[in-house]
Each structure stands twice: as C-alpha cells, then as structure tokens.
Amino acid sequence: MTSNSVEPFAAVEIIAAKRERNELSDKQIDWTVDAFTRGAIADEQMSALLMAILLNGMNAREISRWTTAMINSGERMNWSMLDRPTADKHSTGGVGDKITLPLAPLVAACGGAVPQLSGRGLGHTGGTLDKLESIPGWRAELSNEEMLNVLKDTGAVICAAGAGLAPADKKLYALRDVTATVEAIPLIASSIMSKKIAEGTSALVLDVKTGSGAFMSDPKKAAELARTMVQLGVAAGVKTRALVTAMDVPLGLTAGNALEVRESIEVLAGGGPTDVVELTILLAREMIDAAGIVGKDPAVALQDGSAMDHWRRMIAAQGGDPHAKLPVAREQHLITAKNSGTMVTMDAMKVGVSAWRLGAGRSKQGEKVQAGAGIEMHAKPGDYVQAGAPLLTLHTDEPARFERALEILEGAISIEEGGTVNRLPLVIERIEG
C-alpha cells in the first residue's frame, strides 16, 4: 500500500468531506477512483465513503466526474472501423427479462452493429451470459479482436466485459455488494454508464425496470436513475435515451436460463409472448432511431426470418450450436389453480426468488447455475383460469429444492371471480437526452 505522504490527498479527508455533505472537487474524485483501483485506499476507507455517498448523495457534476474517472481506470473500445453505426441496450434487470437475446440479432438484421457487453445473474435477476451459456458450446469470454470479428461477420456480439474495461467498477461493485450500498443512485448510474461509455457505442438505449421484480421498485426512483444515466451518456457524447418499463409481473412466460433461450428463439421465429415481442420491437426501434440507421423495420425482420438468421450466425460465431437441443431439468413440479377466476396478480419478485432457489440463479459471484432450472408460467394476470388448470411448472435438477421454491411462491398469485387487474403500463416513461 502506498503511504499517504506521497499522495496529493488523504482518504480520511475525502470521507469526512462527503460525511459533512460537501462537494468533492474534480481532482479529489480523480484521485479517489485511481487510488482505490491501485490499492492506495483501503477497502474499509472506500466502504465508509460509499456509505457517505449513499446517505448524502452527489450532484450532477460529481457523478459525471466519478463516471469519467472510472472509464479512465481502463481502456476504451473503438468501433470506428465498422461500416455501420453501433447501438447498444442496457437493462437494469428483472424476472424473465430475456430481451437482449432476440434484440441484438434483430437490430443487426435492420442494419446496426450491436456490441453488447453483458453480465451474469446475482440474486433473483437472471444474467444474459448465464442464459446463453445453456446453449452447447457457446462461450462468453472473447478477446477484443474476436469481438470485432464476430461484429464484422454477424452484426451483433453478446459477451463478457474484459478485465480492461472500467476495472475500478469491478472493484467498487464487489465492495458495494457487501456494504449495503448497492442502492445509491450515483453509484448505480456511474457503474452502468462507465462500462457502457467505455464500450464505445455511438447510441445507447436504457431499459430501466420498475415494479416488484425490479431492482428499483419505485417508479419515481427508477425515473430518477434513468434521467441520471441519460445525462451521463449525453455528457460523454453518446446518443442516449431511456425507457422506464414495467417489472411488476415477469416478462414473458419463462424465468430461467435454457427456458428463456427457448422463448427468445420463439420470438425470433415470429412467435413468442406478446409482451416480449412488443418490448423487443420498441427497444429495437429506439436503438435504430438513436443511431440514425435507415433500414428494415424490426417488426418485418422478426417475420421474414432475417433476425433468426443473424441469431444463428451470432451463436455459431461464438462456438455455440444454434440447432442443438437445450438442456432440460431432471425434475418438474406442477402448480394448479385452487379456484376459477381471473388472475389478478403475479408477484415478479416472488417468481424470481423461486426460480433462483430452484437453481437458476446464484447467491454469490462464481457459483454455478443450473441451465435447465426455472419456472414456466401457463397463465398471466388478466387471463381467466379454471380450478385445476396449470399455473406454473417448476424445473430443477435437485428435487430437494422444490420445498423452498414453493415456500416463496405462497401468495404470489391471486385469482378472483370478477377480479380487476391493476398493472403498470409496459412503458411508464420515456426520457431523451
């Protein structure tokens, strides 16, 4: 560890400044992020600063500078050698949110290039890479050169962020996770946007989820996060816009890795659940518009087979077999309706936690997930169901997991004769920079 005598600042002064609700200067922020990345600020000191930021906040200039400092901790990617504009999407995550899977090849089929750096799941929200890894042979880890080659060949790539991209974020994220500071809007916004800006895309569409199954369950907080991130993108010269979208009910009819891949393939084949199709087309149109792409309409590309063609090429380019059978869990458990009526509610958070308990998610980084585990939904709020009709099928390789998964689903679904459904609209707000 470097001694503070040769450093321009002392960590304790910066912690005290934020504790007293003072603004941090650009130089203080640059030094803090750099010093923490190289180990000159101890974890316990950064933990104290993160808590002070959570409690006392940061203004727009501080958040922007913090984000820039995180970007500058690593490399910036550059796609200027591509013959088409780049566009990307980031979702804050939810239950059954498999939109990235059909969206990337769809935008590629409409004339864009999609360099999509994705993550793994933690807790009740599924990770895009975990879903794709259920495809035999598919690999998430690509070098920058491999990433560029896949993009040139197929127009879309979905892979893990390399170690060189915003390394400060990786270190900070691990600390936020264990210090109860994940919820701080300045820290969420800078974490997401440092990676997305460093990724080098020219246009970015943010899908900020809200409702019981979202990380930001309060729509007002979700909109605040969306606005903060749009401002950060615009300040960095990236055409950025955000949609605040519903996550009070799971998206689509599946939650779990291979189950969601199967549903994504249905969407690419011109079918699939209406909410997944609607949101995929909506986000694709936003990406194409933000990037200034004049090409095929996404609704057409889903129907004429071109999006599916790009999906197969993208999967094959990353070592996957697009025609291979997807893994299926060894055990199933069916839940049926106790009474007839309209399904009024389906709690997205409870469904997500249940899928996680079945083995679809992980409770700590590095844990293995089951490819076939998860939940299939046979009805959604607004549907009329008869007593005894199937509601959910639970999938897992380990039957011992059913008990804890069923425990969390207690009260997750309500069915009432003549009941009215009170749901969030699919898109609650649209924010453009």
Nearest to 211 by CA among 431, 425, 378: 425
Please state the rounded mean pLDDT for residues 221-244: 97
Please state the rounded mean pLDDT for residues 324-340: 98
Catalytic residue among 91, 191, 194, 354: 191
pLDDT at site 3: 47
Catalytic residue among 98, 131, 171, 195: 195
The C-alpha atoms of residue 416 and residue 173 are separated, in whole angstroms, by 43
pLDDT at site 6: 83
Catalytic status, residue 347 = no
Q: What is the pTM of this model?
A: 0.94
* Residue 58: pLDDT over 70: yes
* Residue 133: pLDDT over 50: yes
* Residue 427: pLDDT over 80: yes
Catalytic residue among 176, 209, 239, 401: 176
Please state the rounded mean pLDDT for residues 240-261: 97
Alpha-helical (H) ranges within 20-143 are: 26-37, 43-56, 60-71, 100-109, 128-132
* Residue 312: pLDDT over 70: yes
Tell me how far CA of residue 317 lies from CA of 140, 269, 314, in angstroms. Answer: 11, 20, 5
Catalytic residue among 30, 130, 169, 275: 169
Tell me the pLDDT tens digit for each residue of 358-410.
Answer: 999 887 777 889 999 999 999 999 999 999 999 999 999 999 999 999 999 99
Catalytic status, residue 176 = yes
Catalytic status, residue 414 = no
Tokens 């002064």 locate to 13
Ramachandran sector of residue 180 (left: φ over 0; alpha: ψ -120 to 50; beta: rest): left
pLDDT at site 46: 98
* Residue 293: pLDDT over 70: yes
Show the domains of the chain with their CATH numbers: 4-57 (1.20.970.10), 87-324 (3.40.1030.10), 331-416 (3.90.1170.30)
pLDDT-derived band at 215 (thresholds 50, 70, 90) equals confident
pLDDT at site 5: 58
pLDDT at site 217: 93
* Residue 2: pLDDT over 60: no
Paired residues of 256 in beta bridges: 374
DSSP per-residue letters across 64-90: HHHHHHHHTTS-----TTSSS-BEEEE
Catalytic status, residue 177 = no
Tell me the pLDDT tens digit for each residue of 108-128.
Answer: 999 999 999 998 876 677 789
Summary mean pLDDT of the chain: 95
Query: Above pLDDT 70, what percent of the chain?
Result: 98
In sequence order, the 6+-apart residues with CB closer than 8 A to the CB of 338 are 387, 415
Catalytic status, residue 368 = no
Catalytic residue among 18, 90, 171, 196: 90
Q: Quick one: DSSP state of residue 358? A: I
